[in-house]
Structure 1
Amino acid sequence: MSRFRSLWQASVNATKKALTWELEEMVPPAEKCIFKFSSKEDLKRWHLYSDSEYGGLSSASLEIKDGGNGSDCTGVFSGNLSTDMSEGSKWSITRSGFCGMRSKKFDGFIDLDGYDSIALRLKGDGRCYTSTAFFFLN
């Protein structure tokens, strides 16, 4: 019920803005931060997964690193990829070697009206990886 209430409230607020014709409020800022790692508490909002759930030997971890000198914190995702399978696995998998992370359900509603793209700031280790991003729209 609270999800419906948040969506309803966002709709009411948008309608009020449109009726008052305050143009400055209707134009979104150039950028909007959706998520930032700022404390260890933020780690609870992410789910880590790997092929270990299916008999693989890969692993994943996520930790917060302080930027130092008052700069922002950084979420550091790391993993160990293994194409090996554990012996006696109940799964009949011939290939393995994956790990990743996904957000847990966010509370409320993120209003992205007025934006046409989402950017991720990532830093790698020089090797090639595949990344997928899914956004569920209501």
Structure 2
Amino acid sequence: MSKVRAIWQASLTATKRALSWNVDDMFPPSERFIYNFKSKEELKKWHLYSDSEYGGLSSAALEITDAGNEQSGGTGVFSGNLSLDVTDGTKWNISRSGFCGMRSKKFDGFIDLDPYDTIALKIRGDGRSYISTIYTENWVNSPGQMEDNSWQAFVSVPKHDWVVAKIPLAHYLPTWRGNVIEADIEMNPSRVVGMSFSVNAEGGVPGAQTGPGDFRLEIDWIKALRTQ
């Protein structure tokens, strides 16, 4: 009798686990961490780029704050200097300089953000506006067109104070090498392959600081939210 009871209990436990898994699939949590910036290990998931790769003179760094501790961790600091100048004699015929960025390394597969409608960023800045980019799997399956789709939105970051900026996924526009494109396409949030932040010396939202010079963006975390 005890053996029968044990088999029944094991079957019941397995059924509960299966039901729990299905419920999670049907009703995912209202928020999902995508990145945090609590340790140097987390920063290794990102790499830097700037106009210096094409003859420009801008520079960027990504570091962890010293304020972190073993309990709470630190925050990431994306900082550097934006320059409109170019190196003398450069072989690159660049049309503009004065940009820097930090891009995540590709996920091992895809991140499915289909259950969510908003990207939330806990950030502290310098009065400049930054560009938040989401990369999704390319819609063109061609050997000559292998770049990821990119979707961009401006985020204005006030000076000094921590804010949680919320950007609806619907506000991200399709872009091609930094320029908004006129295309009748929609983001596929179930096939996200990476993200980035970038900053330009020129352009941005009205009222934001612009021009060459130093920049500094402090990042605590990035989440996906379901607000509806």
TM (norm. structure 1) is 0.73
Instruction: Return 5+ residue gaps in structure 2 as ranges.
Output: 1-17, 137-189, 192-228
| 1:80 equivalenced with 2:53 (yes/no) | no
> Would you identify which runs of 4 or more consecutive aligned residues in structure 1 move more than 6 Å?
none
Q: Provide, for residues 97-120 of structure 1, a one-character-per-residue CA deviation record: whole Å limited to 9, x for no partner.
A: 110111111124423242112222
SS in 1 for 2:107: coil
Higher relative contact order (CA 8 A, sep 6+): 2
Deviates more, 1:57-66 or 1:68-77: 68-77
Matching residue's letter, 2:86: M
Provide the C-alpha distance between the structure 2 equivalents of 1:94 and 1:22, rounded to a whole number of angstroms: 52
**Whose helix fraction is larger, Structure 1's or Structure 2's?**
1
Do 1:66 and 1:72's aligned partners in 2 also have CA atoms closer than 8 Å? no
1:1-138 matches, within 5 Å, as: 20=19, 24-25=23-24, 26-68=26-68, 70-126=71-127, 128-136=128-136, 137-138=190-191
Report the Cα offset of residue 33 of structure 1.
0.6
Q: Provide, for residues 84-135 of structure 1, a one-character-per-residue CA deviation record: whole Å limited to 9, x for no partner.
A: 1111111123531110111111124423242112222221112x22413123
- Equivalences, count: 121
Do 1:66 and 1:73's aligned partners in 2 also have CA atoms closer than 8 Å? yes
SS in 2 for 1:73: coil
Provide the C-alpha distance between the structure 1 equivalents of 2:123 and 2:53, rounded to a whole number of angstroms: 26
Provide the C-alpha distance between the structure 2 equivalents of 1:28 and 1:87, rounded to a whole number of angstroms: 54
SS in 2 for 1:134: strand
TM (norm. structure 2) is 0.47
- Pick the structure with greater CA Rg: 2
Instruction: Return 5+ residue gaps in structure 1 as ranges.
Output: 1-18
